[in-house]
Structure 1
Amino acid sequence: MSPRRGESRERMVLSAAALLREYGANATSIDRVLAHSGAPRGSVYHHFPGGRAQLIEEAVALAGAFISGLIETATRADDPLEAVDAFFALWRERLISSEFRAGCPIVAVAVETNDDAPQLIRSAAEVFARWRDALGAMFVRHGLPPERSRRLAGFIIAAIEGAVIMCRAEQSISPLEAAGAEIHDLLVHALRDR
C-alpha cells in the first residue's frame, strides 16, 4: 500500500522543522530534508512549488504553531508562575534529551541571513509576536497592566531563547536553570506588587 498523498508533504515539513532545530536554516537543504523524511525527490516541487523557501516557511509555521499551542495551553493555568516554569521545564527536557543539539527552529531562521527568502524573517517575527501575545494576555488576566505584561512576555521569550543558545554552546543546562530561577523570582515580585 502506498502512502497517502499528503503524507510525504507532512513528513517533509516535520523533517524540515526537526532539521532547523539541529542544523539551522542554511544547512536545511532539500537533499537533507529528503534524506531525513524519506520522501521521494519528485514530491518536492509538487508539494512546494516555491521550493526550499516555501518548505522552510511552512516548517517555521508548523513549529511556531506547535509551541504556541503549548504556551496557550500553559497560560490557561490558574497560576502564571506554574505556566512559565512549565515552559522552562519543556526546554530543559528538550535540551537534555537531544544532548544539547536541538534548539529553537524559529531562532534558527531569525539569526541567519535569508536574502533569497526575506519572508522567512517575517515569519519568525510573527511567531515571536504570537508567543509574546499569549504570555502577555496571561499576565493581564492575572492583574498586570497591559504594557508591563507585554514587556514581561517579550523578556521571558528573549531569556528562554538566549538561555537555550547558551546551553547548546556550553553543553550544560545551567544557563536555562539560572534564567528560569531569575524569571520565577521576577514574576513572584511582579504579581505580588500588582
Structure 2
Amino acid sequence: MSPRKSDSRERMVRSTADLLREYGASATTVDRVLAHSGAPRGSVYHHFPGGRTQLIEEAVELAGNLMAGVIDAAMQADDPLEGIDAFFTVWRDQLVNSHFRAGCPIVAVAVETNDEAPHLTHSAGAVFAGWQEAFTALFRRHGLPEDRSRRLAALVVSAEEGAVVLCRAQQSVEPMEAVAAEIHDLLVLTLSNRP
C-alpha cells in the first residue's frame, strides 16, 4: 500500500530529521529527503515554500519535541535518578539500534556554520535551552538551588551529547555508559547533600 499524499508533509519532516541524525545538515538535501520519504517532488515547495531551510527547521523542531517528550516522562519519575538514567538509556538504545549511525539531529544543525540560514543555529540553541530548562525544573523540584540546578542541567545535556559523538566515533556504547554512570553518581552525591 502506498502512503497517502496527505502524509507527504509529515513524512518529509520525519525523513529530514532521520537524515540529519545520520548524515548531518550539509548532506541533507531536498533530493535525499524526497528519496527517503517517497514524497512527490512537487510537494516540497507546496508544503515548504522556504525549501530546504524550512524542512531542516521543522525537523529540528520535531526532533526537539520528541526528545522533550522523553524528558517530560523522565520528569514524572518520583526519583530524579530514574528519570536521568532513562534519558541516557534512550540515547544508548538509539545508538545501538542504528548501529552507531544515528546521532542527534539538533547537534547536526548546531555544528554547521549555516551561513545561508543563521536562524537554524538559533533554533538548535532553543531546543537545547528547552531541554536544560526541563532538567533544571526537575532538579529544583527535588530540592536543589536554582544555580546548581541550572549547572547540572547544562552538564547532563552536554555530557549526553558529547557521549553520543564519542559512541559514534568509537562504535561503542562504552562512552555513554561511562557518562551515564558518572552523572548518576554525581547526582546521588548532590541529592544526598542538598540543603
Which bin holds the TM-score, normalised by the shorter protein? over 0.9
Deviations 1:147-171 (A, max 9, x none): 1101100101000000000000000
| Aligned counterparts of 2:76 and 2:121: Cα–Cα separation in 1 | 29
| Aligned counterparts of 1:18 and 1:135: Cα–Cα separation in 2 | 25
Query: 1:141 corresponds to which residue?
Result: 141
Query: 1:33 corresponds to which residue?
Result: 33
Q: Which amino acid letter does the alignment assign opposite residue 84 of structure 2? A: V
Query: 1:46 corresponds to which residue?
Result: 46
* Cα deviation, residue 137, structure 1: 0.1
| Aligned counterparts of 2:147 and 2:28: Cα–Cα separation in 1 | 37
Q: Which amino acid letter does the alignment assign opposite residue 144 of structure 2? A: L
Query: 1:181 corresponds to which residue?
Result: 181
TM-score calculated relative to the size of structure 2: 0.97
| Aligned counterparts of 2:5 and 2:170: Cα–Cα separation in 1 | 42
5 Å-filtered alignment, 1:83-162, equals 83-162=83-162
| Aligned counterparts of 1:73 and 1:158: Cα–Cα separation in 2 | 20
Query: 1:169 corresponds to which residue?
Result: 169
Q: Which amino acid letter does the alignment assign opposite residue 81 of structure 1? A: L
* Cα deviation, residue 76, structure 1: 1.3
| Aligned counterparts of 1:119 and 1:143: Cα–Cα separation in 2 | 36
Identity across matched positions, percent: 68
Deviations 1:137-189 (A, max 9, x none): 00000000011101100101000000000000000111101101100000001
Mind listing any 5+ residue stretches in structure 1 that lack a counterpart? none
Q: Which amino acid letter does the alignment assign opposite residue 9 of structure 1? A: R
Query: 1:17 corresponds to which residue?
Result: 17
Report the aligned-residue RMSD: 1.2
Q: Which amino acid letter does the alignment assign opposite residue 60 of structure 1? A: V
* Cα deviation, residue 6, structure 1: 3.5
| Aligned counterparts of 2:151 and 2:92: Cα–Cα separation in 1 | 24
| Aligned counterparts of 1:3 and 1:100: Cα–Cα separation in 2 | 29
Mind listing any 5+ residue stretches in structure 2 that lack a counterpart? none
| Aligned counterparts of 1:181 and 1:2: Cα–Cα separation in 2 | 45
| Aligned counterparts of 1:150 and 1:124: Cα–Cα separation in 2 | 18
